């Protein structure tokens, strides 16, 4: 049981500001927040420290409050503020009468403004529309609300306040008609805590009305949800507003390393409604396009929404509701001992707190003046003022090797040392707490890589259970995914599909059922006698393949074995960098029965394709229980390249990691295996740092382990720690040479297996090199680098592929008898998409099966097929892409691999199977049809 004078409920800027004010007046104070600080509206706004100029016409009272507090906060908390300045710009078509109303309103509110020329505005912000016709400067700024919450907590605690995060108010203790305390539930431990108080302050933003009802108050609120979009760079360095009546999508705010555009205003009844709907994204982009042309085609990092807790007893829509605030005394509803503060803006939090605590002191009979207007907030860090918007300090340290620990989040420069410090001295419970404290996962990948690293490091430091660690990881990944779900096109869609591969296959957070499929006999030559018939001029037929992923390379080998000439061109090595070390083919018989699935026509070619691959790389039949990067088990159909070994619960296992390495965590893997009934222990190698001032990549370790010194170092350290282990699991970094793994196994005297790391994948690189080498040894040609720019068509047939060259605008054409597109899907680049919902094929503009409605209908880790997986090129039974009339686009044009429509590779566990089967089948069809035509 706790005793205090004032219980503050809510840990946003207003609640923390109230606690700071109460403590500075010498009163005892406890603040209770059901989550971490600034997780509600304060942490979900656009970052603007208002000058008030946005409100001078419609809400002059709020405008006056904003400018007064803006000027104060610059003095009290410069460590959380960036003085960006602001611009109000007029564009052709804007209401010209608004300008005079606006300037008069600014003058009345005491807001300084200065008219500048359009040229001066564009010199300051070159991204602005050249057509702008007027511009004004105002004293807008930006504020980091997360850092603001922390300095308010530090200031309040220094004055004696106590903060209880993750404590939810279950009910109030009411005696007679007076609130005398509250019962809290500690959401971390389940402990129930009673806090007795002389007076309670409800400062819970949109949740205030519900809490007020629990206390016996009857006030009503108007909730308005507003969406914001974070762009991937600072398009502007100045806050930009439209010089017109405020509306949707007319404000651009530079915050930190990004810029935020918004916002919308949607009525909601749910205080936790943080949805962003597709129409909101489109509206914001369409409305901002005239301000900064091209913004609608730029990459958006994330979309989020916050709920405005508006005070508007008179009704009206959300845009009309006043942005001012109201302090409500429970006595008006017949209940003493409780007050509520609602409405307002983050900019005015200090003033809101002052007026609230003035009422608190009056009701308690205490004469203590407010001193927050003259009391600077403490520095964010012990070193003094830190400007949150400048990351160059972190980068400078990193580039000069002065940052200790691995770099876990490349986007925001978050190191393992920073996370260790936050876990040891801060009130960090979840990965989302680390995000708010350190900006973990707030960059372009939205936690795609760093989420796993941070979760695994936390697991090891706090000795958590693997089940709880996976739960926290899944929660963080899904919340990050939720913020990009309305933005899944272009780069963001590729990022989501990459995360699907990483968390589904490499890490096993969404395990799928494997299907036992016997490996085909390797006696087949792969040759089709009819395909070797010469052309009239005696030359062999030539197949041009676009794409060098698994489908493209398989197609090349299949064509070579059939006696054709092959030339492959690709801009990169495709999705093989995600290959985990095994082949997944899925439930082939069941999938082949599905109309429109690639296996419908190609399943019979899978055995032939596997036979072709087996002559280039060692394949072994399953089933295997592959160990993933989280230690979970994923059933595997076929092993490729000697990476797996069947483990059993009766044999001791040693899981080997690398000390301090960010992409593999042996302790987490061993803990998960033990939880599943295996006998595993972990050991970390001490290996040299190979990455210079940056981190060591899997490929760096693999190259080093291929050297005699590297192999000897690993063998010597592991052999000393075998201690009866019957099998040893390593991160998948055991060299690129097959003999490296063989020699290591011989030196240790026990079987080895490899466990996937984060990409780039060493097993994938091995497979790419092996297939490329086999192709070139058999006479094939392969060119990596140029993009395919289009197809050369003549009389309904493809004559070749146009590719880019170093001579700008002068493509080269690779001619052939048939062309196979194996360019990948929405991840690999064979398909592209934009915010309008359009999907197109990138080489020739072939018609694509698109998706109507939501592209992702379930969570990223749901294990469910997503609608967008169905997108792709539709073909005939010969795998020839169809044109808009449902006829083959060209008689000798074929498609294979992820470019095809109708399947979900990760969810079906069919990734490699479809690549191999469709490539082999397409080659068979291409050469047979070519023989028919040219015979």
- Residue by residue, what is the 3-state secondary structure of 437-456? HHCCCCCCCCCCCHHHHHHH
**Phi/psi of residue 411, nearest 5 degrees:** -65, -40
Residue with tokens 């094929």: 841
User: Do the domain assignments include residue 349?
Assistant: yes
d(CA 169, CA 171): 6
Q: What is the span of the domain harbouring residue 242?
A: 80-139+223-306
| Buried-exposed string 50-69: b where 16+ CB fall within 10 A, e elsewhere | bbbbbbbbbbbebbbbbbbb
pLDDT band of residue 522 (cuts 50, 70, 90) is very low
pLDDT at 781 over 80: yes
Tell whether 773 and 674 lie within a shared domain: no
From 304-318, 550-564, 664-678, 861-875, the region with the lowest mean pLDDT = 304-318
Determine the pLDDT at residue 533.
40
In CATH, what number is assigned to the domain containing residue 915?
3.50.50.60
CA distances from 911 to 616, 875, 918 (A): 19, 19, 11
Mean pLDDT of the chain: 92
Tell whether 320 and 186 lie within a shared domain: yes
Tell whether 244 and 131 lie within a shared domain: yes
- Count structural domains, the chain: 5
The average pLDDT across 885-911 equals 96
pLDDT at 525 over 60: no
User: Do the domain assignments include residue 93?
Assistant: yes
416's CB contacts (< 8 A; 6+ apart) are 405, 406, 407, 408, 453, 457, 660, 662
pLDDT band of residue 321 (cuts 50, 70, 90) is low
Tell whether 811 and 916 lie within a shared domain: yes
User: Do the domain assignments include residue 531?
Assistant: no
Tell whether 426 and 545 lie within a shared domain: no
Tell whether 217 and 362 lie within a shared domain: yes
Contact yes or no for 658/537 (Cβ under 8 A)? no
Question: Could you tell me which residue, 916 or 439, shows the higher pLDDT?
Answer: 916
Domain end (from 248, 276, 306): 306
The average pLDDT across 868-896 equals 96
pLDDT band of residue 324 (cuts 50, 70, 90) is confident
- Peptide linkage before 901 cis (omega within 30 of 0): no
pLDDT at 245 over 80: yes
Tell whether 150 and 37 lie within a shared domain: yes
Q: How many helices (H) and strands (E) does the chain have?
A: 25, 41
CA distances from 414 to 258, 433, 454, 589, 903 (A): 17, 14, 10, 47, 37
Contact yes or no for 838/849 (Cβ under 8 A)? no
User: Do the domain assignments include residue 59?
Assistant: no
Question: Could you tell me which residue, 24 or 533, shows the higher pLDDT?
Answer: 24
The per-residue pLDDT for range 608-639, each reduced to its tens digit, is 999 999 999 999 988 889 999 999 999 988 99
Across 206-276, the runs of DSSP E, i.e. the strands, are 222-231, 239-242, 251-255, 258-262, 266-268
In CATH, what number is assigned to the domain containing residue 731?
3.40.50
pLDDT at 774 over 80: yes
Which residues are 782's β-sheet partners? 568
User: Residue 887, Cβ neighbours under 10 Å: how many?
Assistant: 12
d(CA 339, CA 330): 5
Determine the pLDDT at residue 932.
65
Determine the pLDDT at residue 682.
98
pLDDT at 532 over 50: no
Question: Could you tell me which residue, 225 or 323, shows the higher pLDDT?
Answer: 225
pLDDT at 384 over 50: no
Determine the pLDDT at residue 933.
55
Residue with tokens 């990223």: 860
Tell whether 355 and 467 lie within a shared domain: no
User: Do the domain assignments include residue 1?
Assistant: yes
Tokens of 76: 């009290």
Tell whether 396 and 379 lie within a shared domain: no
Across 335-459, the runs of DSSP E, i.e. the strands, are 338-343, 407-409, 414-415
Tell whether 434 and 467 lie within a shared domain: yes
Determine the pLDDT at residue 306.
95
Determine the pLDDT at residue 622.
83
The average pLDDT across 642-652 equals 92
Tokens of 846: 């072939």
Domain end (from 388, 415, 430): 388
The average pLDDT across 767-793 equals 95
- Direct distance between the N- and C-terminal alpha carbons of the chain, in angstroms, rounded to an integer: 93
User: Do the domain assignments include residue 635?
Assistant: no
Determine the pLDDT at residue 402.
66
In CATH, what number is assigned to the domain containing residue 87?
3.30.9.10
d(CA 130, CA 902): 45
The average pLDDT across 476-497 equals 93
The average pLDDT across 834-838 equals 90
Tell whether 264 and 286 lie within a shared domain: yes
Residue among 338, 269, 304, 342 nearest 15 (CA): 342
Determine the pLDDT at residue 694.
74
Residue among 811, 17, 742 nearest 346 (CA): 17
Tokens of 723: 């201690």
The average pLDDT across 726-746 equals 96
Determine the pLDDT at residue 641.
87
User: Do the domain assignments include residue 857?
Assistant: yes
Domain end (from 275, 306, 337): 306
Residue 916: in which H helix or E strand, if any? helix 911-934
The per-residue pLDDT for range 117-170, each reduced to its tens digit, is 999 999 999 999 999 999 999 999 999 999 999 999 999 999 999 999 999 999
User: Do the domain assignments include residue 778?
Assistant: yes
d(CA 871, CA 843): 16
Question: Could you tell me which residue, 540 or 343, shows the higher pLDDT?
Answer: 343
Which burial class, exposed, middle or buried, applies to 262 when counting CB atoms under 10 A from its CB (0-12, 13-18, 19+)?
A: buried
**Count of alpha carbons within 13 angstroms of residue 363, beta-carbon side:** 23
Determine the pLDDT at residue 538.
36
Which burial class, exposed, middle or buried, applies to 292 when counting CB atoms under 10 A from its CB (0-12, 13-18, 19+)?
A: buried
Residue with tokens 């410069």: 78
The average pLDDT across 359-388 equals 83
Determine the pLDDT at residue 319.
45
pLDDT at 389 over 60: no
Tell whether 2 and 101 lie within a shared domain: no
Pairing of strands 338-343, 29-33: unpaired
Determine the pLDDT at residue 515.
53
């Amino acid at each position: 049981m706790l005793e205090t004078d004032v219980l503050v409920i809510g840990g946003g800027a207003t609640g923390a500001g109230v606690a700071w004010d109460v403590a500075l007046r010498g009163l005892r104070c406890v603040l209770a927040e059901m989550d971490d600080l600034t997780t509600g509206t304060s942490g979900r706004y656009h970052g603007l420290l208002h000058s008030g100029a946005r409100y001078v016409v419609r809400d002059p009272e709020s405008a006056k409050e904003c400018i007064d507090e803006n000027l104060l906060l610059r003095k009290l908390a410069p460590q959380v503020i960036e003085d960006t300045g602001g611009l109000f710009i007029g564009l052709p078509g804007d209401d010209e009468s608004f300008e005079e109303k606006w300037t008069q309103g600014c003058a009345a509110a005491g807001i300084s403004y200065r008219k500048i020329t359009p040229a001066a505005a564009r010199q300051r912000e070159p991204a602005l529309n050249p057509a702008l016709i007027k511009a004004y400067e105002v004293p807008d700024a930006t504020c980091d609300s997360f850092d603001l919450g922390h300095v308010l907590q530090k200031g309040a605690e220094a004055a004696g306040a106590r903060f209880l995060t993750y404590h939810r108010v279950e009910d109030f203790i009411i005696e007679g008609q007076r609130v005398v305390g509250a019962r809290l539930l500690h959401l971390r431990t389940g402990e129930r805590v009673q806090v007795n108080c002389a007076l309670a302050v409800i400062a819970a933003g949109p949740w205030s009305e519900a809490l007020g009802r629990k206390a016996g108050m009857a006030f009503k609120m108007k909730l308005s949800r507003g969406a914001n979009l974070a762009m991937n760079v600072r398009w502007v360095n100045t806050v930009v507003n439209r010089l017109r009546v405020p509306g949707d999508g007319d404000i651009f705010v530079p915050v930190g390393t990004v810029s935020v555009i918004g916002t919308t205003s949607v009525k909601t009844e749910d205080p936790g409604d943080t949805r962003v709907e597709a129409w909101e994204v489109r509206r914001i982009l369409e409305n901002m396009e005239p301000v900064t042309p091209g913004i609608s085609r730029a990459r958006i990092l994330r979309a989020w929404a916050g709920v405005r807790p508006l005070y508007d007893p008179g009704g009206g829509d959300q845009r009309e509701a006043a942005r001012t605030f109201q302090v409500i005394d429970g006595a008006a509803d017949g209940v003493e001992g409780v007050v509520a503060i609602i409405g307002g803006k983050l900019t005015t939090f200090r003033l809101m707190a002052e007026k609230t605590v003035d009422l608190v002191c009056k009701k308690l009979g205490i004469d203590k003046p407010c001193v927050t207007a003259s009391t600077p907030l403490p520095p964010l860090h012990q070193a003094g003022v830190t400007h949150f918007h400048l990351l160059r300090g972190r980068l400078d340290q990193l580039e000069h090797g002065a940052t200790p620990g691995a770099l876990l989040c490349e986007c925001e420069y978050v190191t393992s040392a920073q996370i260790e410090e936050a876990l040891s001295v801060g009130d960090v419970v979840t990965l989302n707490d680390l995000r708010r404290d350190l900006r973990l996962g707030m960059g372009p990948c939205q936690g795609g890589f760093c989420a796993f690293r941070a979760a695994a490091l936390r697991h090891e430091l706090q000795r958590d259970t693997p089940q709880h660690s996976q739960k926290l990881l899944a929660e963080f990944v899904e919340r990050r995914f939720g913020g990009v779900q309305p933005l899944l096109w272009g780069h963001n869609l590729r990022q989501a599909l990459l995360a699907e591969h990483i968390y589904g296959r490499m890490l096993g957070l969404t395990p799928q059922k494997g299907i036992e499929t016997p490996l085909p006999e390797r006696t087949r030559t792969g040759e089709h006698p009819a395909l070797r018939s010469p052309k009239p001029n005696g030359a062999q037929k030539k197949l041009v393949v676009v794409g060098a992923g698994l489908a493209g390379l398989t197609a090349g080998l299949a064509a070579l074995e059939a006696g054709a000439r092959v030339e492959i061109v690709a801009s990169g090595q495709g999705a093989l960098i995600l290959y985990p070390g095994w082949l997944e083919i899925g439930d082939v018989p069941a999938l082949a029965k599905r109309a429109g699935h690639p296996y419908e026509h190609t399943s019979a070619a899978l055995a032939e394709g596997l036979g072709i691959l087996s002559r280039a790389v060692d394949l072994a039949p399953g089933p295997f229980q592959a160990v993933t990067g989280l230690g979970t088990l994923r059933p595997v159909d076929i092993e490729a390249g000697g990476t797996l070994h069947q483990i059993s619960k009766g044999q001791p296992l040693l899981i080997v990691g690398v000390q301090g390495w960010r992409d593999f965590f042996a302790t987490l893997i061993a803990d998960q295996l033990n939880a599943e009934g295996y006998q595993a222990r972990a050991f970390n190698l001490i290996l040299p740092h190979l990455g210079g001032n940056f981190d060591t990549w899997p490929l760096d370790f693999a190259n080093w382990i291929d050297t005699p010194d590297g192999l000897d170092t690993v063998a010597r350290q592991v052999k000393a720690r075998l201690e009866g282990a019957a099998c040893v699991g390593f991160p998948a970094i055991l060299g690129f040479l097959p003999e490296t793994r063989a020699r290591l196994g011989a030196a240790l005297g026990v079987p080895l297996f490899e466990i996937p790391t984060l990409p780039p994948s060493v097993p994938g690189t091995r497979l790419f090199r092996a297939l490329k080498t086999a192709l070139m040894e058999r006479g094939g040609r392969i060119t990596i680098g140029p993009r395919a720019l289009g197809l050369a068509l003549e009389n309904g047939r493809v004559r070749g592929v146009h590719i880019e060259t170093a001579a700008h605008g002068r493509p080269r054409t690779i001619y052939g008898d048939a062309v196979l597109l194996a360019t990948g899907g929405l991840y690999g680049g064979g398909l592209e998409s934009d915010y309008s919902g359009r999907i197109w094929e990138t080489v020739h503009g072939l018609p694509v099966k698109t998706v109507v409605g939501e592209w992702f209908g379930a969570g990223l880790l749901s294990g469910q097929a997503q609608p967008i997986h169905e997108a792709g090129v539709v073909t005939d039974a010969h795998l020839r892409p169809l044109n808009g009339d449902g006829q083959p686009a060209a008689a000798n044009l074929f498609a294979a691999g992820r470019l095809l429509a109708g399947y979900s590779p990760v969810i079906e566990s069919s990734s490699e199977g479809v690549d191999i089967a469709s490539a082999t089948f397409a080659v068979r069809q291409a050469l047979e049809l070519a023989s028919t035509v040219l015979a």
